[in-house]
Amino acid sequence: MTGLERILRFTARDFEALGMEQLAYVKPVEVDGRAAFAVHAADGTEIAVMPDREVARAAIRQYDLEPVSVH
């Protein structure tokens, strides 16, 4: 398995082990019947919900965190 394949299989606990202060992940969610994107800290704590994946990723970068997508 390649490094990328391993990262794509990370769980919230795996991200927590990497350091909550360095990563945040974006996860597709549904809010009031509409598609949205939740931003989570590495430990799984939901930080925010954004209407668009790119807006979510930009918000993460604004706080000097590295965004990671979770499918």
**pLDDT digit string, tens, across residues 7-55:** 778 787 776 666 667 788 899 999 999 999 999 987 788 999 999 999 9
Q: How far apart are CA 65 and CA 41, in angstroms?
A: 10
Which one, of 46, 47, 42, 48, lies nearest residue 23 by Cα? Answer: 42
Q: How far apart are CA 26 and CA 9, in angstroms?
A: 14
Determine the pLDDT at residue 71.
62
Q: How far apart are CA 33 and CA 9, in angstroms?
A: 27
Determine the pLDDT at residue 20.
60
Query: Could you give the count of Cα atoms lying within 13 Å of 43 in the half-sphere of its Cβ?
Result: 5
